[in-house]
Amino acid sequence: MTAPAEKSQRWNRLLELLAATGRLTVEEAAARLGVSPATVRRDFTALADQQLATRTHGGIVATAVAYDLPARYRTGDEAKQRVAEHAAALIDPAEVVALNGGTTTTAVARAIAGRTDLPTSADHELTIVTNALNIAAELVLRPHLRTICLGGLARRESYELHGPLAALALAELRLDTVILGVGAISATGGAQCRHLDEAGINAEMVRRAGRVIAVATADKLGRTALARICPIEAIHILVVDRDADPAPLAAIRDAGVDVHLV
C-alpha cells in the first residue's frame, strides 16, 4: 500500500505539472512520475474528487485553483509533507480548526481535506476557519467540509487577510484548534512571522483557540522574524521534521511544548 506521504508528494507533483501545462494525460504523468498508469488513474480520480482538477477521457485538466497558484504553494518537499500529514492526523473530525496562511498550512489543509474518515453529514462536518484566500478557495470545493473565510485586506505575498474586519470576524468565533504556520520559532522568541498585520490576526487565532499546533520545517527553528505571534508557552504542540537541530528543540521542550518529530 502506498504511504500517505508518498501519495501527497505525487499529488503535489501532478498539480505542479498541471499548472505548467494546463492538462496531463495518463501516459505523460506516468512517465514523469515513474509510476504505473493504474496509479496515475487513481491519483487523477482522487484529484478530481477533491475538485483540484477536472477529469477528462485519458487525463485531467487544471482548475483555476490548481492553475493560478505560485509554484511554492503547489508543491512541497518531503519534510513539509510529513509535517502536514502528521498535523492533519491530530485533528478531531468534529473540531473547529483555524489555519493561517503559508505553504506549510496550505499543505496541512490539503492533508485534512484528503482524510477519508471525515463525517459527511452536514450536522457533523469539520469546520475550517482561515484568513488565507488560497486555502479557503480550495477547501470550499470539498462538500464534506464547512469553510469560513475571514474578511479583511488581502496581502498578495501570502494570500492572507488582515486588518480590523478579520479581527471583528474572529471575535465572534470559537476555535478548538489553530494550526499555526510560522516564519520562525524558538524558546525565547516564541512563534514569529515577517509582517505585523499578519502577526496580529495570527495572535488573535491563538488567543481564541483551545489548542495551538505550530507546524514548521527544520529551517524555521532558532531563526528570528520581525513580529511575534505568541510566546512559546502558548503553543501546545510543535510538529517539525526530524532534521531539526536538537539544541533549540530541547529548549522548546523545556518550555513545556510537546514536540512531534516526523
Question: Can you give the CATH number for the domain in which 148 is found?
Answer: 3.40.50.1360
Buried b (16+ CB within 10 A) or exposed e, 157-173: ebbbbbbeebbebbeeb
What local confidence, expressed as pLDDT, does residue 27 receive?
94
More confident residue, 12 or 86: 86
Q: Which of 180, 222, 221, 185 is nearest to 202 (CA)?
A: 180
How confident is residue 5, by pLDDT bands cut at 50, 70 and 90?
low
Q: What is the CATH number of the domain that holds 34?
A: 1.10.10.10
Sign of torsion, CA 73 74 75 79? positive
Total domains, the chain: 2
Is residue 96 within 8 Å of residue 175, measured between CB atoms? yes
Section 76-91 average pLDDT = 91
**Are 136 and 156 found together in one domain?**
yes
231 shares a domain with 186: yes
- Measured from the Cβ of residue 41, the count of other Cβ atoms closer than 10 Å reads 16
Domain termination site, one of 69, 87, 103: 69
From the CB of residue 2, how many other CB atoms can be counted at a distance below 10 Å? 12
Say if residue 57 is in the same domain as residue 143: no
> In the structure, what pLDDT confidence band is assigned to residue 169 with cuts at 50, 70 and 90?
very high
Q: Tell me: pLDDT of 91 over 80.
A: yes
Do 17 and 134 reside in the same domain of the chain? no
In a shared domain, residues 173 and 252: yes
Q: Are residues 167 and 255 in the same domain?
A: yes
What is the rounded distance in angstroms from the CA atom of residue 185 to the CA atom of residue 220? 6
> What's the pLDDT tens digit per position in 11-63?
878 877 876 677 899 999 999 999 999 999 999 998 888 777 888 889 998 77
CB-based contact 34:10 (threshold 8 Å): no
* Range name among 77-81, 88-92, 94-98, 154-158 with the lowest pLDDT average: 154-158
pLDDT band at 65 (very low <50, low <70, confident <90, very high): low
Q: What is the number of helices (H) and of strands (E) in the chain?
A: 11, 15
**Residues 218 and 156 placed together within one structural domain of the fold:** yes
Structural domain that includes position 90: 76-261
Average predicted confidence (pLDDT) for the chain: 89
- Whether 190 and 98 map to the same domain: the answer is yes
Category of 64 on φ-ψ map: left (φ > 0), alpha (ψ -120 to 50) or beta: alpha
- Segment 99-158, tens digit of pLDDT: 999 999 999 998 898 887 887 766 668 999 999 999 998 888 777 889 999 999 998 878
Same domain, 11 and 140: no
Residue 256 backbone class (left: φ over 0; alpha: ψ -120 to 50; beta: rest): left
Instruction: Check whether residue 152 and residue 43 sit in a common domain.
Output: no
The more confident residue out of 221 and 124 is 221
Residue 110: the pLDDT is 87
Report, as an integer, the average pLDDT of 162-176.
94
Query: Residue 1: pLDDT above 50?
Result: no
Could you tell me if 81 and 206 lie in one domain?
yes
Q: Are residues 182 and 92 in the same domain?
A: yes
pLDDT score, position 122: 64
Among 69, 85, 113, residue at a domain's last position: 69
How many angstroms separate the first and last alpha carbons of the chain? 20
pLDDT-derived band at 3 (thresholds 50, 70, 90) equals: low
Residue 72 has pLDDT above 80, yes or no: no
Q: Which of 43, 69, 95 is the last residue of a domain?
A: 69
Report which secondary-structure segment, H or E, holds 151: none
Q: Is the pLDDT of residue 83 over 50?
A: yes
What phi and psi values does residue 221 have, to the nearest 5 degrees? Answer: -75, 135
Res 54: pLDDT: 85
Q: Grid coordinates standing for 158?
A: 501570502
